[in-house]
Amino acid sequence: MFAVLAQGIQRGSNALVSRARLVGILYLVVGLVVIGAFALSVPAKTVSTLRFSGGGDPVQLPVLPLPTLATNLVVGAGIIAIGAWQLARGFKRANVALGLSFALLVVAFVLWSIRGETINVTGLLQATLLRAVPFLLGALSGIMCERSGVINIAIEGMMLIACLVSVVATNIFGGNLWLGLAAGIASGAIVGALHAWLSIQYKVDQIISGTVINIFATGATNYFNLRVLQVAQNLNDTHTFDALPIPVLSQIPIIGRVLFSQNILVYAALILMFAVNFMLFSTRWGLRTRAVGEHPRAADTLGINVYRIRYINVIIGGMLAALAGCFLTLGDVGRFDKLMTNGRGFIALAAMIFGNWTPFGSFASSLIFGFADSLQLNLQIISSVIPSDFLLMAPYLVTIVALVGLVGRTIPPAADGKPYDKD
C-alpha cells in the first residue's frame, strides 16, 4: 500500500514539475514576442506618453514620456527573467508571477498601441472600474445562485430586462431615478423567482431554463423597443446618477479619481462585494448556502430547508443581475438600446469562474475584463494602429483566453446544477 501511495505522490510531483516547466517556457515565449512584436517593430525615436491627471484635477502630475523601443525591450527582458527563474527554481506563489507577467505584458501592449500618442492613465483606470461594475454585479449574481447549487446563465436576460424596465419606470415616475432603480431591481427579483421556480420546483434543466429566459428577454425587449419606445421616445430618455466625489479622499492624486469620484451605483457594487463575501463566509446563512451547494442531502438531514435556501439565493441573484442592468442605463448611458448588454452577462459568468466562485476573486477578474473594455475605447479615440474591429473583440478575446487557461483548475460547488429531490 505504501508503495502505491509513494507512486501516486511521485506522479503528482512529476505533473507539478512538468506544469511548472511548461509555464516557464510560456513566459519565455511571451517575453520574446514582446521584444519582437512590441519593441523591435517600433522606430527607435518613437515615444509613448503617459498622462496621470486631467484639467480639473487639484494636483497636476507631470507627464511621463517613455521611449517605446527601449521600454518594451526592458519589459520583454523582465518577462524572460521570470520565465528563466520559473524553469530554474520555480515560484512558491505562482499567481504572483502570473500577475506580474500579465501586468508587464499589458504595459508593453499599451505602449506599442499608443506609440507617438498620449494616453491618460488615470482616466483609463477610472473607466476600468466603471466598466467592471456590471461584470462584478453579474458575477455576484452567479455566486449567489451557484453557491446554493443552481446554475444561472440567465444573467444576460435579467440584465437586459432591468435595463428596459429601469428606463421606462424612471420616465413614468417623472424622472425619479430611485423609483426607476427600484422597479429595475424588482424585475430581476421576478425573473429570478421564475428561474428558481422552473429549476427547483419543476426540476427543469437549469441550462435550458436560463436559455429560455435569455431568449425571452431578447425578444420581449426588442419588441417593446420597436413598438413602444420608437413611438413614445419620451419614455426612453432619462438622466443618470451623478458622480459623488467623497470629500478629501477624492483629492488624492490618481486614487481619488479612480475610487472616490464615482457615482452611487459604483459605490453600491463595491459595498455589495464585501457584503456578499461576509454573508457567504462569516454568517450562518452563508454556511447553510455553501452546505446546500456542496451536499444538499447532508444539509437536509440537519434540518436545513434546501428548497428555501435555493429560492432565496436565486431571487437575490436575480436582483443583483438586475442592478447590473440598471447600472448600464441609470448609471452610464441614460437610455435603452437594442441588446445593450452586449454579452456582459456571459462575461460576468466567466469572471465568476475566473474568480473561483468568490466575490473578491470575481472582482479581480472583472477588473481585467473592464480594463480590456475601457482600453479598446481609449485606443479607438486616439486612432491606434490596431484596427477598430479587432479592438471591439478585445473583451471577448480576454474572456476566451481566461476560460481556456482555467480548464481543470477551478472547482465549482459539488451540487451545482443538480436538482434536489427530497423524496
Show me where the domains of the chain are located.
14-116, 122-405
Residue-level pLDDT at 393: 72
Contact 51, 66 (CB under 8 A): no
DSSP conformational letter for 407: T
Q: Which of 2-16, 288-302, 345-359, 396-410 has the lowest mean pLDDT?
A: 2-16
Q: For residue 318, what pLDDT is reported?
A: 97
Instruction: Name the pairing type of β-strands 47-51 and 64-67.
Output: antiparallel
Lowest mean pLDDT among 115-129, 148-162, 163-177, 211-225: 115-129
pLDDT category at 142 given cuts 50, 70, 90 is very high
Interstrand relation of 47-51 and 118-120 (parallel, antiparallel or unpaired):
parallel
Rounded to an integer, the average pLDDT of 55-65 is: 78
pLDDT computed for residue 10 by the predictor: 44
If you average pLDDT over residues 117-131, what whole number do you get? 91
Distance from C-alpha of 274 to C-alpha of 289, rounded to nearest angstrom: 17
CA 8-293-421 angle, to 5 degrees, is 110
Query: Rounded to whole angstroms, how far apart are CA atoms 33 and 286?
Result: 45
219 contact partners, CB below 8 Å, separation of at least 6: none
Band (pLDDT 50/70/90 cuts) for residue 379 is: confident
Query: How far apart (Å, rounded) are the C-alpha atoms in residues 228 and 206?
Result: 32
Q: Are 149 and 206 in contact (CB under 8 A)?
A: no
Residue 14 has what pLDDT?
A: 47
Top-confidence residue, 73 or 252: 73
Residue 346, C-alpha cell as written in the block: 456571459
- Residue 407's pLDDT band (cuts 50, 70, 90): very low
Q: CA 304 to CA 149: how far, in whole Å?
A: 14
Convert the pLDDT of each residue in 152-202 to its tens digit.
999 999 999 999 999 999 999 999 999 999 999 999 999 999 999 999 999
Phi then psi for 197, rounded to 5 degrees?
Answer: -60, -45
Residue 148's pLDDT band, with cuts at 50, 70 and 90, is very high
Average pLDDT score over the chain = 87
Q: What is the mean pLDDT of the segment spanning 101-116? A: 87
What cell numbers appear for 322 in the block?
438586475
Q: Is the pLDDT of residue 146 over 90?
A: yes
Query: 244 or 383: which carries more pLDDT confidence?
Result: 244
What average pLDDT does this structure show over 388-414? 66
Quote the longest CA-to-CA distance of the chain: 77
Q: Mean pLDDT over residues 294-299, rounded?
A: 94
What is the pLDDT, as a whole number, of residue 382? 72
Mean pLDDT throughout 53-59?
70
Residues 347 and 134: their CA atoms lie apart, in Å, by 10
Q: Which of 226-240, 332-346, 371-385 has the lowest mean pLDDT?
A: 371-385
Within a 13 Å sphere around the CA of 380, how many CA atoms are in the beta-carbon half?
Answer: 13
In this structure, the number of other CB atoms found within 10 A of the CB of residue 388 comes to: 11
Q: What is the DSSP string of 338-386?
A: TTTTTTHHHHHHHHHHHTTT-HHHHHHHHHHHHHHHHHHHHHHHTT-SS
Residue 64 is given by DSSP the state: E
Banded model confidence at residue 3, pLDDT cuts 50, 70, 90: very low
pLDDT, mean of residues 244-262: 90
210 within 8 A of 152, measured Cβ to Cβ: yes
Q: In the predicted model, is pLDDT for residue 64 greater than 60?
A: yes
Instruction: Answer whether residue 348 shows pLDDT above 90.
Output: yes
* Across 264-290, average pLDDT: 96
pLDDT band at 298 (very low <50, low <70, confident <90, very high): very high
Of 48-57, 211-220, 302-311, 410-419, which range is least confident? 48-57
Question: Higher model confidence: residue 270 or residue 16?
Answer: 270
- Give the CATH superfamily of 122-405: ABC transporter involved in vitamin B12 uptake, BtuC (1.10.3470.10)
Residue 395 clears pLDDT 80, i.e. is over it: no
